[in-house]
Amino acid sequence: MASRLLLVVPLLFLFLFCHTSSARVSVKVTKLMVEKICGLAKNPSFCLEVLTSDPRTGYADLDQLRGVCINLAMVNVTDTEKQINLMLKRSSKERLRSSLTKCAADYSNAIEQLREAIDFLGARDYDSVRDRASLVISVTMSCELSFRTPPPISSPLTQNTKNAVGLADIISAACTFRP
């Protein structure tokens, strides 16, 4: 019995120690960190505008900021999906409807990728978060491109896709950044 205890106690210590050492280090995001993150983005000034205008940035640690980035993209893409479905209800133009139908699926896919990104952030699997952000970029760009397939028509979603791509790129930058 005693010998078994001798084995268990060090194991318990090891467990507690490993558990503590892998706990989240909660360092508040500084202005300099935001600048460094945005320096990694394709459009640093857009990134700075987005992150500095969100009140949560001032209180967040790094993982929380990454969460804020995913949340901003999620809100944006969800709003666009709603807009697309509204346009589909209002339009009977066949050519427009065919692209909008594709875009509804693309944006719904983007929402799914962002949901997965939230889970991967929880697991601190930043590479997978970045992969999901890349997928958000490719599916929303694929929506935009569908308006150019012959016969091309002008896209009502150009700005939405720019926003989605820009916001997904900020997620990517925030996950590339290492303090």
Ligand X SMILES: *[C@@H]1O[C@H](CO)[C@@H](O)[C@H](O)[C@H]1NC(C)=O
Residues near ligand X (CB under 6 A) are: 50, 75-76, 79, 163
Instruction: Spell out the residues 6+ positions from residue 23 whose beta carbon is closer than 8 angstroms to its own.
Output: none
Q: What is the DSSP letter of 41?
A: S
Query: Which strand (E) or helix (H) includes residue 109?
Result: helix 94-122
Return the percent helix, strand and coil in the chain, to nearest 5. Answer: 80, 0, 20
Give start and end residues of each alpha helix (H) in 123-157.
Answer: 126-146
User: Dihedral (C-alpha) 62, 28, 53, 115: value to the nearest 10 degrees?
Assistant: 30
Least distance to ligand X, CB of residue 64, Å: 19
Alpha-carbon distance 61 to 111, whole Å?
A: 24
Select 93 or 115, whichever has its Cβ closest to ligand X: 115
Least distance to ligand X, CB of residue 76, Å: 4
Residues in the chain, overall count: 179
Select 50 or 135, whichever has its Cβ closest to ligand X: 50
Least distance to ligand X, CB of residue 163, Å: 4
Select 76 or 140, whichever has its Cβ closest to ligand X: 76
Three-class DSSP category at 146: helix
Least distance to ligand X, CB of residue 46, Å: 7
Least distance to ligand X, CB of residue 66, Å: 17
**Token pair in block for residue 60:** 């967040």
Select 16 or 75, whichever has its Cβ closest to ligand X: 75
80 and 50 Cβ atoms separated by less than 8 Å: no
Select 33 or 73, whichever has its Cβ closest to ligand X: 73
